[in-house]
A and B are shown apart, each in its own frame.
Chain A
């Protein structure tokens, strides 16, 4: 076991604020064995190939090195329009409890596709370790939707990196559900290099019990008229802890770029802890940048209104959380998937 420091923010602030990075005292990389519990549903052929992952802002060196020697290597080259979502399902169980996946998605010019990466554990007892990366290049005029579902159990350790580049006119949409893991560390980076490229991220997270989440979202905006939207909604219960760090960095030259960042944290119990650092860095004047974040318990008026209809407080809380998440859920544009996630939310917020 060793100490590691993960998820450094692009700009430091006072050490005493305790948010520059995420420290783990008892970190241990597991032995990487074969992993075969993968189901792929795809119209296009997926190669078992890998590309070196060299992130600009890494989740942590040890984890990045491990990703380059993973037990699942997938290369999805989207060279035509794909009508049905490409679904890749990873299931961790007692035997195959270590997944190190390196997924590369390249959306060729003008293509349109949806990719769903789903991570789950077979049951609540599995002691799983997941370290993954989704490496995306969205070429000019492509339209790509990536859905990342972390439905691991609360025993697992989960480390996840997303690394994106959007070229001219590309539209890259991310929908993320971060529900599992006793420890979930997420590193999201987008390089908006292309003019009028557009990247949106919609995240919902849940932390219950003693779950800890550390999220480090970074977008660097270089392209003119580029657009970045980061929307993060979450609910924390029991003694769960969450650190949200979001940075939009407007680089000189990104004229008329727009960036919005919004984090909303619902605190469902007195002992849950929420930290947030929504950063705006700006070295270009001709931009619009907005950020907001808020935290607090759910509106009591709403709660009592629902309870007055004969619904228990717990159920009423769940309804309100689901209502807050509905914007993200609707973006999935898939009823079955939406229902599956609603079920997960109900199960986790017991």
Chain B
């Protein structure tokens, strides 16, 4: 039987390549001089420089991962860790330089802001070029700003939380991140404030052979509610680019945070990102993630359920096409009573792509009454792709309900015949099944993003249907 031909994602929008115009591009490589230089260019307080040096020290000390995708393509000596775009931070879209503005316009960012976002941050290479927040949220005390500004303007609060969720010791690329971080967002939602419309940061890496190391720190205070969206893309170059961002999230008592990511990096990108949340009593964390781009991804958002009744939900999809190795999943620690985690993960692999689901669920001895339910499904569209599931559970108490299930396989012939008996062609039937497979994830995304994701999938399938 003919296989569904699924073409590569149409990347024409994302591939808009601007000239490598910058006001400053750090020499390639990584050493103490470079770290000090980044810090002094940013005019940082000493404690931040100390954090950077700690990061560098750990980076040199920690070994490369002994598992997962082969990272030998990465040569730090070839990567420029800091690229300052030819733009200052703007609060008016009109002030953003033409070339950069056009890129974000093509990606639909300001359009989305008008329609459905309460605030937007846009980062180009290493610096944030645009930031805005709705007036009424400002009045309610919501802070949404780029990370450099936060370090200066909200120094005390940043100092209190920075590096506290993800320590530099976490792994080699978290350490690297701390040494050279630049850009990113800082969000603080005060007690009881409900941010009804999402905030969004968009990260664009234009400069070749460079790295993006944005730091995102979000604190959702007691009883508050926030939906934060992160989008990323980059044009395709032949040389390797590196993304080693870090996301530190704090969900306080009775608070709720939804963190959605649509990652569509180009296929020369190594996406070695770190994301982690600490959830206090009765807090709720929701991860929604779609991984479509990058050459190699290693991304496992971690949730520490620290307070009683804390909850975590993870809904994710990854789509590994030609030349891609997407190693994604999650980690969760049930560290208090009656904590709960629900995970639904889907992956699609095709044209030789490798999709791996990797997870670790830890239930601490004191986490009585906890529940964890993990479900993963993998769909393979041809016989030369790879789909692996590597889930670990570590259960330290008897008073727990833990279950994990996973399925792997191709589109079932029965389902195709059923749809064909209803008048669909074979290709249409297959395409419909692939869309249906992804639908539980797209349902969790805000409309614009669900549309973007469906477009990505439809574009490929249309190519197949003709």
**A residues with CB within 8 A of B:** 11-15, 17-20, 250, 252-253, 255, 265, 267-297
Contacts and interface: CB of A to CB of B under 8 A. Distances in A.
Contact of B392 (A252, A275, A285): A275
A292 B392 contact: no
A284 B383 contact: yes
Interface string B344-373: 000000000000001010000100000000
B320 to A, nearest CB: 12
A269 B409 contact: no
A13 B408 contact: no
27 contacts: A12-B67, A13-B360, A15-B66, A19-B394, A265-B395, A270-B397, A270-B398, A271-B365, A280-B378, A280-B408, A281-B389, A282-B387, A283-B385, A285-B381, A285-B409, A288-B408, A289-B409, A290-B407, A291-B404, A292-B405, A292-B406, A293-B393, A293-B404, A294-B401, A294-B402, A294-B403, A297-B398
B378 A296 contact: no
B383 to A, nearest CB: 5
A282 B398 contact: no
B22 interface: no
Nearest to A18: B394
B404 A296 contact: no
Interface string B46-75: 000000000000000000011110000000
Contact of A292 (B385, B398, B403): B403
A-B CB proximity, top 9 nearest: A267-B398, A285-B380, A12-B67, A289-B408, A292-B405, A297-B398, A285-B410, A294-B403, A280-B389
B399 A273 contact: no
Interface residues of B, number: 39
A330 B447 CA distance: 54
A290 B395 contact: no
A123 B407 CA distance: 45
B41 interface: no
Given A282-B380, A293-B393, 20 more contacts: A11-B388, A13-B392, A15-B67, A17-B394, A250-B408, A267-B398, A268-B398, A270-B397, A274-B393, A278-B391, A280-B388, A280-B389, A282-B386, A283-B383, A283-B387, A285-B381, A294-B401, A295-B393, A296-B400, A296-B401
Nearest to B380: A285
B360 A14 contact: yes
Q: Is the interface of B mostly helix, strand, loop or mixed?
A: strand
A285 B6 CA distance: 14
Contact of A269 (B360, B382, B398): B398
A270 B365 contact: yes
B407 A289 contact: yes
B207 to A, nearest CB: 31
A272 B395 CA distance: 8
Contact of A252 (B66, B365, B381, B384): B384
A76 B139 CA distance: 83
Nearest to B386: A283
Nearest to B363: A295
B393 A282 contact: no
B398 A279 contact: no
Nearest to A297: B398
A293 B403 contact: yes
A133 B390 CA distance: 27
B410 A277 contact: no
A212 to B, nearest CB: 14
Contacts of A274: 393-395
B250 to A, nearest CB: 22
Contacts of A295: 393, 395, 400, 402
A272 B400 CA distance: 12
A213 B381 CA distance: 38
B436 interface: no
B147 to A, nearest CB: 27
A280 B403 CA distance: 16
Contacts of B380: 282, 284-285
Contacts of A17: 360, 392, 394
A278 B387 CA distance: 14
A294 B410 CA distance: 25
B393 A285 contact: no
B108 interface: no
Contacts of B382: 285
Contacts of B390: 11, 13, 277, 279
B396 interface: yes
A93 B365 CA distance: 38
Nearest to A286: B410
A284 B358 CA distance: 19
B401 A282 contact: no
A13 B358 contact: yes
A12 B394 CA distance: 16
A283 B395 CA distance: 30
A282 B389 CA distance: 8
A193 B67 CA distance: 28
A294 B358 contact: no
Contact of A285 (B65, B385, B398, B407): B385
A288 B385 contact: no
Nearest to B170: A16
Interface in B398-454: 398-410
Contacts of B394: 17-19, 273-275
A74 B395 CA distance: 40
A286 to B, nearest CB: 6
B398 A290 contact: no
A290 B405 contact: yes
Q: Pick the most buried of B395, B396, B403: most chain A CB atoms within 10 A of its CB.
A: B395
A293 B380 CA distance: 23
Given A282-B408, A288-B409, A267 B392 contact: no
Q: Pick the most buried of B382, B389, B401: most chain A CB atoms within 10 A of its CB.
A: B389
A290 B406 contact: yes
B316 to A, nearest CB: 17
Contact of A20 (B67, B383, B407): B67
A297 B363 CA distance: 13
B357 to A, nearest CB: 9
A279 B388 contact: yes
Contacts of B68: 12-14
A270 B399 CA distance: 7
B338 to A, nearest CB: 14
Contacts of A288: 407-409
B370 to A, nearest CB: 10
Contacts of B387: 280, 282-283
